[in-house]
Amino acid sequence: MDYQILETKERVLADNERAAAQTREALQKSGALLVNLMGSPGAGKTTTLLQLIERLGKDFRIGVMEADVDSDVDSKTIAATGTRVIQLHTAGLCHMDADMTARGLEAMDTRGLDLIFLENIGNLVCPAEFEIGADLRLMLLSAPEGDDKPLKYPLMFQISDVLLLTKMDTAEVFGFDAEKAAARAKALNGSLRVIPVSAVTGEGYDEAAALLKEKLALRRTGA
């Protein structure tokens, strides 16, 4: 090795497990499923929401919490579909934590909802470290970002339940190898479900929607 490695370890993580556990318990009682949607800026989080709302919106009552550092660009997009939306501003923070999530759920009023999405801040680092009390952690990796990302941001891949490989219609342009990306992600997390998708061709989103339907059915039967 012809370069030096310097560890600059430091602890900044707050313990927010208790608040996350409370949220999880409250959601169990209400019957709603909370999905933590994570990925880099521009990975396709809002587009993925639109694809899933299109497929699930008729059968399920959906709510969306849009977390942003600033702006309400995404809330406007989601609200245009007639879906219940609340905008959360983190005012500079790079992630949502369990307390902020609990406040968001309270402010949104989750009564009657089946499925709630939190669109987290666009970021592959911080959101992975803060449990929010979600039932499902859904992460996106887009083809333009490159298939080496599991090597560089391992925690996000480790803590996720489902990985959507987005913008697959552009994979060839970017030399993105979906099998390589999936193998690298699964080396970190053997139980990760990987689904390649494209909002341009529609590829994969039926499978992703079906997966959420299964989870909702399980929740309903108390599993």
By CB under 8 A, what part of segment 174-213 binds a second copy? 174
Site for a second copy in 19-48 (CB under 8 A): 40-42
| Residue 172 binds a second copy, judged by CB under 8 A | no
Buried b (16+ CB within 10 A) or exposed e, 114-139: bbbbbbbbbbbebbbbbbbbbbbbbb
Q: Is 153 in the site for a second copy (CB under 8 A)?
A: yes
Segment interacting with a second copy, rule: CB under 8 A, options 18-26, 29-37, 50-58, 137-145:
137-145
- 196 closest CA partner among 182, 209, 185: 182
Among 54-62, 71-79, 190-198, 214-222, which window interacts with a second copy (CB under 8 A)?
71-79
Q: What residue has token string 């992975």?
A: 128
Contact in structure between 38 and 127 (CB atoms under 8 Å): yes
How far is it, in rounded angstroms, from Cα 4 to Cα 100? 39
| Interface with a second copy, residue 145, by CB under 8 A | yes
Question: What is the token pair recorded at 72?
Answer: 């309400």
* Residue 123 in the binding site for a second copy (CB under 8 A): yes
For a second copy, the closer CB: 55 or 167? 167
Smallest gap from Cβ 65 to a second copy, in A, equals 9
Find where tokens 């709630």 sit. Answer: 116
Cβ of residue 94: shortest distance to a second copy, in angstroms? 4
Is residue 90 part of the contact set for a second copy (CB under 8 A)?
yes
